Structure 1
Amino acid sequence: MSLVRNILQKKGYATITIESYSTVYNALEMMMTKNVGALLVMDADTFIGIFTERDYARKVILEGKASKKTLIKEIMNDHPVTVNPTTTIKECMNLMTDKVIRYLPVLDDSNKVVGIISMSDIVKHLMEEQKFIIDSLQNYISNQQ
């Protein structure tokens, strides 16, 4: 069974973070520059939440707030669903489906951030896994003839 650790080993453990007292505008600039849809919110070395494009759309734009004046801490999700490196991919898919979320921060046993995975990461991993199985079966069949 595939684990979150398998995705992180291939993808990398790097995370893009922002402080809670930064403005939403600064976060959006960072997201555009880094081509990501979510930022982990950190104060010092402590993980305190996640900010996503969805948060911006629903909590800034639709509420008529100004992104240059609104702070991340005002709109971030401060109780995000998290997983650890030994969480199975199936569990992640169930969490994402049940909670209607696209990103899962990955924390180790001491609650330190070790990465983040997205729905896209999971889909890519599953596609690679299926391709490997298909290639292996085709190879097996070819060698039997």
Structure 2
Amino acid sequence: MLVEHILRRKGRRIAIVDPEATISRALEILAQDNIGALPVVRDGRIVGMLSERDVARGLVDRGAALLDTPVTELMTTRLTTCRPETTIEELMTMMTMRRIRHVPVLGEDGDLTGMISIGDVVKCRLDELETEAQALRDYVAGVQ
């Protein structure tokens, strides 16, 4: 299965944050959309990622003053991305090896076309396993 298949199932809506927005505004978006990370986008291009983990670590270092800080000061700029044609197996390996939970999906032109979370990958794998298990049950039961 490919990343594209997951995007077709879950949809392509992507919550984003502007690089100059405050951490407080980014947290509002995370809470509103019930997500754990946001692509930071300037002029239609992804320039970073901001996760709940980034904010938690920033709060430990800077305290409540962090909330008025621009996203650019806390975002991760060394991005791990994938393409729609990336296989789920490749994506799982990438996420595991790099210890990341959210991967932006970039199209051929480098534009952000989707986001894949570890939850999306787990759901995909569970669906595949259930399909295989049902096929085996049908086979054993002699269902055509």
TM-score (norm 2): 0.94
CA apart distance, 1:62: 1.8
Distance in 1 separating the partners of 2:36 and 2:66: 16
CA apart distance, 1:84: 0.3
Give the aligned partner of residue 139 of structure 2: 140
Give the aligned partner of residue 76 of structure 2: 77
Give the aligned partner of residue 98 of structure 2: 99
Gaps of 5+ in 2: none
- Please list, as runs of the form range in 1=range in 2, the aligned pairs for 1:5-20 lying within 5 A after superposition: 5-20=4-19
What's the C-alpha RMSD, in Å, of the aligned pairs?
A: 1.4
Give the aligned partner of residue 20 of structure 2: 21
Distance in 2 separating the partners of 1:33 and 1:101: 22
- Residue identity over aligned pairs, in percent, reads 34
Q: Which amino acid aligns with 1:122?
A: V
Q: Which moved more, 1:61-70 or 1:75-84?
A: 61-70
TM-score (norm 1): 0.94
Give the aligned partner of residue 64 of structure 1: 62
CA apart distance, 1:45: 1.0
Gaps of 5+ in 1: none
Deviations 1:73-113 (A, max 9, x none): 11101121000001011111111111111000000111011
Where has structure 1 moved over 3 Å in runs of 4 or more? none
Deviations 1:49-68 (A, max 9, x none): 1110011012x212124233
Alignment length (residue pairs): 143
Distance in 2 separating the partners of 1:11 and 1:138: 28
